[in-house]
Structure 1
Amino acid sequence: MKTNAPQIDLRPVDALIPYARNSRTHSDEQVAQIAASLDEFGMAGAIVVRDGVIGKGHGTLAGIRKLYSAGKRLYPPPGKAQGAEPFPEGTVPVLDASGWTDAQFRAFIVADNKLALNAGWDNDLLALELGALRDDGFDLDLIGFSGDELADLLPPEGSGNGSGEGGTGSLADRFMVAPFSVLNAREGWWQARKNAWLGIGIRSELGRGDNALGFSDTANISARKSGSADGKTNFGKCLETGIGEKYGREEMNGTSIFDPVLCELSYRWFSTPGGTIIDPFSGGSVRGIVAAKLGRQYVGCDLRPEQVEANRAQIDVLADGDPVPVWHCGDSRNIDKTCKGVQADFVFSCPPYADLEVYSDNPADLSTLAYEDFRAAYFEIIKRACSLLKQDRFAAFVVGEVRDKRGAYYDFVGDTVQAFRDAGLDYYNEAILVTMVGSLPIRAGKQFSASRKLGKTHQNILVFCKGDPKKAVAACGEVEIGEDLFPETGDQG
């Protein structure tokens, strides 16, 4: 099929006629910016004309005239510095739009300018990009932002916000991932790093039986249901067996183990190098092994002996000199006694989602309690764990909202915040971890149509501080990246 492909040709600058009623203005300062941009990047486009009259590119043409008047040449991308050949002197690339009606032409001139103005900025991403460009040595004056705008977006150079003596490097280079309030576990680099962690031999699912989600059983709570004839736990089966749908938790989306990349970030960002981490709901082995690999002493507590033994059996993945994780078997309601003498630099855990179905004959198992009774025990566990935390230190829990049998939220996230406040800590940071979609698309349509419940693909990261945040930051020191444990995976940059 024959098509009328747009044709770009070269015309003399002086042959182009500005539109007499062009309402868009260009100051001398902006024309100078356009000229500098053309000189750096080349002419990445064309002047749009209709019967020789300019419809798009009045400012660009003014910048080109300024270049030519300074004795410079106009180049196509990638520009003079990259070896491009210049356009013939005094010419400019032109796209002919003579097929437009007069009304279309006039409307286009206004629309082209106004539609661009209707766009906005994601200031976090903009600051990230500008910071990376500055760190690469690029001249930010060529981008068009004023000095005041750049000062608002970027920290001063050499302000000590980066790693190393000069504070240089992109946010990802300095912190492994930009320290924003949304972390995306779906990104390729994140998944590659997660696989690298698992590749060292972490088997956090061992010792859990049917508990496929990887949370501790210590305080897992929902009312015990009659009719569990096989006597086995239903913990973690909600995604595969329909238990979640039965109890109003259709949107639950879990992974087989606690995410080791999130664990690594939490340790690097909020714990003291070489310090001690205490975990009142240890569950599987991942948080202990990651701590050891990062030079932290891990002390965890779990109710189930088989889980503790499975964790201890995995220490062969550690290298000589790595601090050996300690897993205590016991009720976390007594963690201040079980772990007596521990002076922790970081409290970190992922408590059980409150209403997952669990069956246990252990009288210490809280699975027989109603939510309000569980809540009281949960508050007590957090209080006792935080009593082992040094002053001026951080704590973090990874949690998610869960529903009761009617489908309403318990406000488990809010209860977690209140529990830490009752323990004397301040609520300091909150972030969202965007998790993998998994099988959710298969279930989401039916679920949403029937209940208007949204498919859940995130977890909440809650960070708290005991004491003075400035002193807690000083205790953590600069974020340690150093020699990468898995250099082949890189980082988000």
Structure 2
Amino acid sequence: MKTETIHLSQIQVNGANPRTIKNDKFEKLIRSILILPKMLELRPIVVDNTFTVLGGNMRLRALSAIAEMSPAEINTRLGECSGYAQKTEAERDLLRSHWEKWLDRPTAHVIKASELTDAEQREFIIKDNVGYGEWDMDALANEWDTEELVDWGLDLWEDKSDSESGNSSSSLPNSAPESSLFDRFVVPPFSILDTRKGYWQDRKKKWYDIIGDMGESRNDTLVTSLEIKYKDLYQRTREHRKELGISFKEYIEKYVPKEELEREQSKIVAQGVSILDPVMAEIVCRWFGFKNCQTFDCFAGDSVFGFVSAYLGNDFTGIELREQQASLNNERVADMTARYICDDGQNVAKHINPESQDLLFSCPPYFDLEKYSDLPNDASNQDSYEDFIQILKNAFTAAVGCLKNNRFAVICVGDVRDRKTGFYYDFCGDIKRIFKEAGVLLYNEIILVEQTASTALRAARYMETRKVAKTHQHILVFFKGNPKDIKKEYPKIEYTEEDMVQFEATETSSESETTENE
């Protein structure tokens, strides 16, 4: 058997081939061929002695569709292809030139299956389209770009019913649909969650459009470094400062007009305030809660978790120390099944009945990383780390008493350094110990990889003392009760046969999953 190149008109579509293709997938196939024509040489169309296709019907149809296009139409299609914008102008010229030349004489690479009997040819048509292999969904989620995979034709976390009707697969339903992995799990259910992925950012934007929470009551509490606080100005003035031989602080004091500084100041809310990620909030509710459950948080902060929880059909109670923040939150969740009580989180048991709640979620202060208020009982306003941890211990121990048996507690934390010594406090370890002493043990540990827009600015300064800029947080999942009862207490998630193919490989690996440490 050898590969030949013949005119497209010589090849006959096999009408008896039972394979079909939907319009959206056919368009993706066309784009896939246009952007990578070399693939056709590596995957020739298989034909019989009469040049009727045995394997490659869809490729032949796609090539026939391309042959009907004008050079201008092909250029337009190329512009829609994933990866085209990243190519150099020379690479684009080569692609355009290839297809202009091909249009003059449309050809295809074929290989004759002349040694196969009629029965073997019939068998080949089916076996050529059977996929025995399985995708490693963990590797796809963490090592590949989702938008590219979808553009290349791979089905991932999309809602099939939506994609067929042209709607976005990242809609935000009030309840999970029966047949959509994307809306049941939000993102691939693995131990590493990557907030940098396109599907995560798209869903996050939609949540923020709904919630509208930009942390108004905290102003710029998280931004302490001038280089990060005024990062655009820092970049623009680099050369000028180098010529003058002065620091950025001196430059601001001597050369930056008040009006310009005010313009830069207006950008701070968008880039500096720590707002809870709504996609993470949705994941917590969907993975570790259930329909119409009672949720609560003893360190509520902004309105994101309460809003998301209520939007998904749950009841939420948040304890928030700052009156202004609690008031703002209640405005945002007005007419929803969520409420915020202004009080110290250590007093959570005064407002919530014992063993009445189904899910505890909290993202407590990270000691002195972000100071929320000057209140003496504010955990972020303590003089020592020991006093800070004691407040958290008091609050979480009381919160555990409000949680029903056989329920989850999910705490989002990230380790912080001692400003004097530079060593980590082991904040994550302390949270684990607090819950263990309260009789609630660690069940899952998830790594939340974050956006790194300001990391480059921090990394250079950190590396002077060989510190590595941290770009992740820990989501610690605790369980109060007997894990053997989880199947009894939490509804079984039904899978279609297609779902099972995608998840079969990951079920085995999840049983032996080990906790990833820093």
TM-score range, shorter chain: 0.5 to 0.7
2:285 corresponds to which letter in structure 1?
Answer: Y
Matched, 1:195 2:205: yes
Q: Does 1:396 align with 2:444?
A: no
- Report 1:175-186 matches (<5 A): 175-186=185-196
Is 1:240 paired with 2:229?
A: yes
Q: Kindly tell me: are residues 79 and 304 of structure 1, through their superposed partners in 2, closer, same or farther at Cα, counting changes over 3 Å?
A: closer
CA contact (8 A) 1:269 1:476 kept: no
Structure-2 separation of matches of 1:278 and 1:72: 65
- Return the letter of the residue paired with 2:343: G
Q: Aligned pair 1:352/2:365, yes or no?
A: yes
How far is the alpha carbon of 1:445 from its aligned partner?
Answer: 2.3
Q: Match for 1:373 among 383, 387, 392?
A: 387
Residues 131 and 201 from structure 1, CA distance in 2 versus in 1: closer, same or farther, beyond 3 angstroms? closer
Is residue 304 of structure 1 aligned with residue 327 of structure 2? no
Give the counterpart of 1:263 among 269, 281, 284: 281
Query: What is the rounded CA distance, in whole Å, between the counterparts of 1:83 and 1:240 in structure 2?
Result: 53
For each residue in 1:212-247, what CA deviation from the matched residue of structure 2 results, as whole angstroms up to 9, or x when unmatched? Answer: 58xxxxxxxxxxxxxxxxxxxx7x9995399xxxxx
Q: Any unmatched runs of 5+ in structure 2?
A: 7-16, 22-28, 65-105, 114-134, 161-175, 232-270, 496-518
Q: Is the 8 A contact 1:303 1:332 kept in 2?
A: yes
Match of 1:435 among 450, 457, 475: 450
CA contact (8 A) 2:441 2:480 kept: yes
Q: Which amino acid aligns with 1:457?
A: T
Distance (Å, rounded) in 2 between the aligned partners of 1:393 and 1:173: 22
- The RMSD of aligned alpha carbons is 4.5
1:76/1:289 CA distance change after superposition, 3 Å:
closer
Q: What does residue 362 of structure 1 align with?
A: 375
Q: Gapped runs of 5+ residues in structure 1?
A: 1-7, 12-35, 48-59, 93-120, 138-161, 214-233, 243-252, 482-493
- Quick one: which of 411, 414, 433 aligns to 2:426? 411
Q: Residues 44 and 202 (structure 1 numbering): CA distance in 2 closer, same or farther, change over 3 Å?
A: closer
Name the TM-score, length of structure 2 as normaliser: 0.55
- How far does residue 80 in structure 1 lie from its aligned partner after superposition? 5.6
* TM-fit CA distance, 1:372: 2.1
- Alpha-carbon shift at residue 456 of structure 1 (Å): 1.9
| Structure 2 match to 1:222 | none
Distance verdict in 2 for CA 1:294–1:479, change over 3 Å: farther
What corresponds to 2:221 in structure 1? Answer: 211
Distance in 2 of aligned mates of 1:174 and 1:404 = 40
Give the corresponding residue for 1:383.
Answer: 397
Name which of 425, 428, 437 aligns with 1:422.
437
Paired positions, count: 341
Distance in structure 2 (CA, Å) of the matches to 1:442 and 1:68: 62
Distance change (3 Å), C-alpha of 1:271 and 1:257 = same
Q: Secondary structure at the match of 2:435?
A: helix
Deviations 1:408-444 (A, max 9, x none): 1111111111211111112111111121112222332
- Larger Cα-atom Rg: 1
Using the TM superposition, give the Cα deviation of residue 206 of structure 1 relative to its aligned residue in structure 2, in angstroms. Answer: 2.8
Q: For the Cα contact (< 8 Å) 1:204–1:311, is it kept in 2? A: no
Partner in structure 2 of residue 289 of structure 1: 307
- What is the CA-CA distance between 1:293 and the residue it aligns to? 0.9
Separation in structure 2 between the aligned mates of residue 173 and residue 199 of structure 1, nearest angstrom: 18
1:363-418: per-residue Cα shift (whole Å, max 9, x none)?
A: 32342341123223322221111110000111101110110022111111111112
Shift of 1:285: 1.2
Matched, 1:459 2:473: yes
Cα 1:473/1:310, change in 2 over 3 Å: farther
Paired amino acid for 2:216: L
Preserved contact between residue 175 and residue 479 of structure 1 (Cα < 8 Å): no
| 3-state SS of 1:313 partner | helix
Structure 1 position 314 matched with structure 2 position 341: no
1: CA distance, partners of 2:57 / 2:459:
46
Contact kept in structure 1, 2:221 and 2:372, CA below 8 Å:
no
Matched ranges for 1:116-195 at <5 A: 124-125=138-139, 164=178, 171-195=181-205
Give the distance between the partners of 2:159 and 2:365, measured in 1 at CA: 44
Match of 1:272 among 277, 280, 290: 290
Q: For 1:291 and 1:173, locate their aligned partners in 2 and report how far apart those are by CA, in whole Å.
A: 15
Q: Is the 8 A contact 2:4 2:109 kept in 1?
A: no
Answer yes or no: is the 8 Å Cα contact 1:395–1:465 preserved in 2: yes
More helix by share: 2
C-alpha distance 81-478 of structure 1, shift in aligned 2 (>3 A): farther
Per the alignment, do residues 180 and 238 of structure 1 end up closer, same or farther by CA in structure 2, a change over 3 Å counting? farther
Q: Structure 2 vs 1, CA of residues 180 and 408 (structure 1 numbering), >3 Å: closer, same or farther?
A: same
Could you state the TM-score of these two structures normalised by the residue count of structure 1?
0.58
Shift of residue 332 of structure 1?
A: 1.6
Please give the per-residue CA displacement for 1:236-264, whole angstroms capped at 9, x wherever unaligned.
9995399xxxxxxxxxx965411111101
Q: CA distance change for structure 1 residues 304 and 83 in 2, over 3 Å: closer, same or farther?
A: closer
Residues 269 and 479 in structure 1, CA contact (< 8 A), matched pair in contact too: no
CA pair 452-72 structure 1, distance change in 2 beyond 3 A: same
Counterpart AA for 1:352: P
Q: Greater relative contact order (Cα 8 A, min sep 6): structure 1 or 2? A: 1
Provide the residue aligned with 1:225 in structure 2: none
> Partner of 2:418: helix, strand, or coil?
coil
Distance change (3 Å), C-alpha of 1:70 and 1:187: same
Query: 2:346 matched to 1:328?
Result: no
Q: What is the one-letter code of the residue matched to 1:297?
A: D
